C-alpha cells in the first residue's frame, strides 16, 4: 500500500474554483466514507481549509487511485471533473509526505508561517479516527506532521515570516499602517462564532477596538464568545451578542465588519453594504473603479483602447541619434517624438528615407522584404524597377503632409486617464469565508474597503519570505527521510513477528516431545531446559532480525521482508494476519491522541 494525495489549493486554482469546490463538514464525512469504500483505497482523510481541499488515501494502485480520488472529489464538490482536473495536483509516497509536512509547517499557506493549519490538521485526523478511516499509515503520517509543524515553530523563526490569516487581513485593511493604531477606538461587528471568527474577535480585542458585536445563527454561541471577550484578562473591550437579523442595523454603527461563516450563499450583499455606508454618511454609496491591485487588474488597466491595443512593440527611443550608423542627425529632434514619425522624417527626400528605413530595420531595407507572387524573394534591383512609381507616390504623399502640416502624424500611446481619488472608507470589511460571505461587488463601492480571500491571495504573492523558511525546509527534508525509514522498517515488522512466532512454536513442540521421552523429568530441570532452548533460539534470531530491520529502513530495503519469508518458509497468511491486527488496533483507537 502507498500514500496518495489529490487536491487543489490557492496555489493551483483560482479563488472562484476553490469557492465552488469547498466542502461542508457533512460532505467531508461522506467523501472519506466513499473513499474507503472504493476499491483502490484502504484508508482516507480529508484536509479542508479556506484555501485548500486535499484527499489523502492509502492505495494499492497509483493510476486507479488517482482516477478514483479525482472522481470522488469532483462528485462531492459539485464541480465537474473536466473543469476540476486542470487545477488538481497529485503527490505520491515520499512526495505526499513532504507535501503534508510542508503544509503543517505553514510553508504552503497563503500567509507563510501561519500556525492555524496545525489545528486544522489535528481536526482532520480526529475526524478520520472517529470514522475509523485512519489506519496505521495515516495515523502515523498526521501525528508526525503535527510534531514536525510544532518543531518548525519552536526551533525556527518561521512565525516572523507570517501571521494568521486574520492578522494578515487586518493589515491589508489598515493599508500598511499599524493595526493597533488603525483599530484603536473603532467598533467591530464579527459575523460567525467559529474558530476563525473567534480568532478575529480576539485579535481585534487585543488591537484595541472599543466594542465588538458578535452575530451568529446560534445565539448561545455568540453569547458565549461575547462573554469570553468581556472577561478576558488581556483585553478591555465591550462585547455583546445579537441575532443575525440585527446585522443590517449593526453595520450602520460599525467601523469594521469581519465575516466567516459556513453559509453557502452571500451573507452580506452589495446592497446591504451600500445601505450601511449611506446610513453612516447620509449620502448614497457611489460605484467607483475597483481598487484592487492584482496582476490581472493591472494588466486590464494597462491595455490601450482601439487599434492601439494591437500595438505591443514599444516605440523606439528618441536618443538613437547618438548611436553609430544612424544616417540622420536627430540630436535636435524634440523629445517625445518617435524615430518613425513626426519630425524624424520631416523634410527628407526619398533616398534618405529609404536609407533611414534600412538602418531602423537592422540593415535590411523595408523595400526588400516584399515577396514574389509565386514565392521567393524579389532582389533589390528587380524590386527597385517594379516599385519606383509606388514608392515615389508614398514619398510624395509624406512630403505633401510635411509641407502642409509641418510634420507627419503618428499613433501615440494614450495619455493616462486621470482617476478621481477614491474617498476614504467609512466601513472596512474583511471576508475570510470560503465560499465568500461578502459580495465581490463591494470592491466597487465608494465608502467601503473590502478584503477577501482573493485579494489576500494577490497580496501574499508579493509578501517577502523570511530567512527562516530555508531552515524549515531542511527540517521538513530530514523529517521526510526519517518517516520513510520508519515506514520501511515497520513494513518488515510483521515478518519478524511471524518469524519469532514460528520459532516459539518450534520450541514449544520440542519441549513437549522431550516431556514425552522423559516423563520423570522434575519441574526444576524441565524449566531449566526450556529456558536454555529459548535462549539459544533468541540468540540465533537476534542478529538477523535486528540487521534486517536496519537494512529494510534504508532506501530500496523493501525486498528484505520477502527474502526473510522465503528463507524461513514463513506462511504469508500468518504475516498478513499480524499486519491486519496492527492496523485494526490503530483503527480501534489505541493511538488516537495526536501529539
Find out whether 72 and 34 touch, Cβ atoms under 8 Å: yes
Establish whether 109 is an annotated binding residue: yes
**What was the pLDDT predicted at 573?**
66
Residues in the chain: 595
pLDDT at 82: 93
Is position 365 annotated in a ligand binding site?
A: no
- Classify strands 41-49 and 52-59 as parallel, antiparallel or unpaired: antiparallel
What DSSP letter does each residue of 134-178 carry, written as one string? --HHHHHHHHHHHHHHHHHHHHS-HHHH---HHHHHHHHHTTTS-
User: pLDDT category, 195, cuts 50, 70, 90?
Assistant: confident
Q: Does position 558 have pLDDT exceeding 80, yes or no?
A: no
Predicted confidence at residue 333, as pLDDT, reads 41
At 233-255, the pLDDT tens digits run: 666 789 999 999 999 999 999 99
259 in a known ligand binding site:
no
What mean pLDDT do residues 268-276 have?
94
More confident residue, 351 or 562: 562
Task: Return all residues near 93 (Cβ < 8 A) that are at least 6 apart.
Answer: 2, 3, 4
Q: Are 402 and 343 in contact (CB under 8 A)?
A: no
Q: What confidence category does residue 569 fall into, taking pLDDT thresholds of 50, 70 and 90?
A: confident
Helices 116-130 and 25-37 meet at what angle, rounded to 10?
50
Cell numbers standing for residue 533:
532452548
Q: Tell me, what's the pLDDT at 232?
A: 73
Which domains are seen in the chain, by residue range? 2-161 (3.30.460.30), 165-284+423-461 (3.40.50.720), 486-590 (no CATH)
Read off the pTM.
Answer: 0.61
Using the predicted structure, report yes or no on whether residue 305 has a pLDDT greater than 50: no
Look at residue 386 in the predicted model and tell me its pLDDT. 56
- pLDDT score of 506: 84
- Any known ligand binding at 50? yes
Residue 27, pLDDT > 50, answer yes
Task: Please report the sign of the dihedral spanned by the C-alpha atoms of residue 436, residue 439, residue 443, residue 445.
Answer: negative
Q: Is 334 annotated as a binding residue?
A: no
Is residue 124 annotated as involved in ligand binding? no
Determine if residue 51 is labeled as part of a ligand binding site. Answer: yes
Find out whether 85 is annotated in a ligand binding site.
no
pLDDT for the residue 354: 52
Q: Is 194 annotated as a binding residue?
A: yes
> 484-528, pLDDT tens digit by residue?
888 777 777 777 787 788 888 888 888 888 888 888 888 888 888
User: Is residue 114 annotated as involved in ligand binding?
Assistant: yes
Rounded to the nearest 10 degrees, the angle between the axes of helix 559-567 and helix 468-517 is 10
Query: Whose CA is closest to 69, among 57, 77, 80?
Result: 57
CB atoms within 10 A of CB 16: 12
Q: Are 258 and 204 in contact (CB under 8 A)?
A: yes
pLDDT at 3: 93
Please tell me whether 405 is known to bind a ligand: no
Active site residues: 50
Q: Is 375 left (phi over 0), alpha (psi -120 to 50) or beta?
A: left
Residue 350: its pLDDT value, please? 52
165 pLDDT higher than 90:
no
Q: Name every residue whose Cβ is closer than 8 Å to that of residue 473 and which is 6 or more positions away in sequence.
A: 102, 107
Candidates 100, 38, 107, 97; CA nearest to 73 is 38
Estimate to the nearest angstrom the gap between the alpha carbon of 98 and the chain centroid.
15
Phi, psi of 442 (to 5 degrees): -65, -25
Give the pLDDT band (50/70/90) at residue 546.
Answer: confident
Between 39 and 556, name the one with better pLDDT. 39
Q: Identify the band that residue 52 occupies on the pLDDT scale cut at 50, 70 and 90.
A: very high
Does residue 434 have a known ligand-binding role?
A: no
- Could you tell me which residue, 184 or 374, shows the higher pLDDT? 184
Q: What is the reported pLDDT for 268? A: 95
- Name beta bridge partners: 6: 55, 90
Residue 222 burial (10 A CB sphere; 0-12, 13-18, 19+): buried
What's the farthest any 2 CA atoms get from each other in the chain?
A: 136
pLDDT digits (tens, 9 = 90+) for 454-491: 888 777 765 555 567 888 999 999 999 889 888 777 77
CA distance to 354, 428, 448, per residue, from 252 (Å): 70, 12, 12
Name the residue with higher pLDDT: 268 or 282.
Answer: 268
Task: Using pLDDT thresholds of 50, 70 and 90, give the confidence band for residue 48.
Answer: very high
Confidence at residue 187, expressed as pLDDT on a 0 to 100 scale: 95
**pLDDT for 399:** 63
**314: pLDDT strictly greater than 50:** no
Collapsing DSSP to helix, strand or coil, 197 comes out as helix
The set of residues, in sequence order, having a beta carbon less than 8 Å from that of 352 and lying 6+ positions away, is 327, 328
pLDDT reported for residue 343: 43
Amino acid at each position: 500500500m502507498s500514500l496518495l494525495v489529490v487536491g487543489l489549493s490557492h496555489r493551483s486554482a483560482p479563488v472562484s474554483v476553490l469557492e465552488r469546490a469547498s466542502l461542508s463538514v457533512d460532505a467531508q464525512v461522506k467523501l472519506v466514507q466513499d473513499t474507503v469504500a472504493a476499491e483502490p483505497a484502504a484508508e482516507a482523510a480529508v484536509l479542508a481549509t479556506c484555501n485548500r481541499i486535499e484527499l489523502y488515501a492509502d492505495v494499492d494502485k497509483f493510476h486507479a487511485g488517482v482516477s478514483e480520488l479525482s472522481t470522488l472529489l469532483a462528485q462531492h464538490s459539485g464541480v465537474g471533473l473536466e473543469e476540476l482536473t486542470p487545477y488538481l495536483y497529485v503527490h505520491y509516497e515520499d512526495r505526499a509526505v513532504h507535501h503534508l509536512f510542508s503544509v503543517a509547517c505553514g510553508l504552503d499557506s497563503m500567509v507563510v508561517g501561519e500556525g492555524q493549519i496545525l489545528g486544522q490538521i489535528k481536526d482532520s485526523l480526529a475526524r478520520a479516527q472517529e470514522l475509523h478511516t485512519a489506519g496505521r499509515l495515516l495515523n502515523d503520517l498526521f501525528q508526525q506532521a503535527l510534531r514536525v509543524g510544532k518543531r518548525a515553530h519552536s526551533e525556527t523563526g518561521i512565525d516572523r515570516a507570517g501571521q494568521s490569516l486574520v492578522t494578515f487581513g487586518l493589515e491589508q485593511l489598515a493599508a500598511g499602517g499599524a493595526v493597533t493604531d488603525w483599530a484603536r477606538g473603532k467598533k467591530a461587528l464579527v459575523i460567525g462564532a467559529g474558530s476563525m471568527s473567534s480568532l478575529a474577535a480576539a485579535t481585534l480585542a487585543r488591537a484595541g477596538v472599543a466594542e465588538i458585536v458578535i452575530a451568529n445563527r446560534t445565539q448561545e454561541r455568540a453569547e458565549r464568545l461575547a462573554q469570553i471577550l468581556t472577561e478576558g484578562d488581556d483585553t478591555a473591550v465591550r462585547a455583546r451578542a445579537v441575532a443575525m437579523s440585527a446585522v443590517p442595523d449593526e453595520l450602520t454603527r460599525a467601523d469594521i465588519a469581519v465575516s466567516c461563516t459556513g453559509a453557502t450563499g452571500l451573507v452580506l450583499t452589495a446592497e446591504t453594504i451600500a445601505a450601511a455606508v449611506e446610513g453612516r454618511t447620509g449620502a448614497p454609496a457611489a460605484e467607483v473603479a475597483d481598487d484592487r491591485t492584482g496582476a490581472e487588474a493591472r494588466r486590464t488597466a494597462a491595455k490601450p483602447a482601439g487599434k492601439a491595443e494591437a500595438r505591443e512593440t514599444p516605440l523606439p527611443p528618441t536618443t538613437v541619434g547618438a548611436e553609430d550608423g544612424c544616417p540622420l542627425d536627430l540630436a535636435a529632434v524634440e523629445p517625445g517624438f518617435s524615430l518613425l514619425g513626426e519630425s524624424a522624417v520631416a523634410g527628407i527626400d526619398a533616398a534618405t528615407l529609404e536609407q533611414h528605413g534600412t538602418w531602423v530595420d537592422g540593415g535590411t531595407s523595408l523595400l526588400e522584404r516584399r515577396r514574389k507572387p509565386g514565392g521567393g524573394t524579389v532582389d533589390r534591383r528587380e524590386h527597385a524597377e517594379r516599385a519606383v512609381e509606388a514608392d515615389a507616390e508614398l514619398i510624395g504623399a509624406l512630403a505633401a503632409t510635411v509641407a502642409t502640416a509641418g510634420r507627419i502624424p503618428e499613433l501615440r500611446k494614450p495619455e493616462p486617464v486621470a482617476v478621481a481619488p477614491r474617498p476614504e472608507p467609512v466601513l472596512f470589511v474583511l471576508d475570510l469565508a470560503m465560499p465568500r460571505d461578502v459580495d465581490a461587488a463591494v470592491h466597487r463601492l465608494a465608502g467601503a474597503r473590502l478584503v477577501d480571500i482573493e485579494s489576500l491571495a494577490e497580496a501574499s504573492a508579493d509578501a517577502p519570505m523570511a530567512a527562516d523558511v530555508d531552515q524549515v525546509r531542511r527540517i521538513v527534508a530530514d523529517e521526510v527521510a526519517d518517516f520513510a525509514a520508519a515506514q520501511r522498517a515497520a513494513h518488515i515488522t510483521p515478518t519478524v513477528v511471524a518469524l519469532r512466532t514460528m520459532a516459539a512454536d518450534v520450541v514449544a513442540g520440542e519441549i513437549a516431545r522431550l516431556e514425552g521421552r522423559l516423563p520423570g523429568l522434575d519441574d526444576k530441570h524441565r524449566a531449566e531446559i526450556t529456558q536454555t532452548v529459548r535462549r539459544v533460539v533468541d540468540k540465533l534470531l537476534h542478529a538477523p532480525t535486528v540487521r534486517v530491520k536496519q537494512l529494510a529502513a534504508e532506501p530500496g530495503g523493501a525486498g528484505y521482508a520477502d527474502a526473510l519469508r522465503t528463507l524461513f518458509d514463513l506462511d504469508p497468511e500468518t504475516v498478513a494476519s499480524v499486519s491486519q491486527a496492527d492496523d485494526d488496533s490503530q483503527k480501534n483507537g489505541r493511538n488516537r491522541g495526536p501529539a
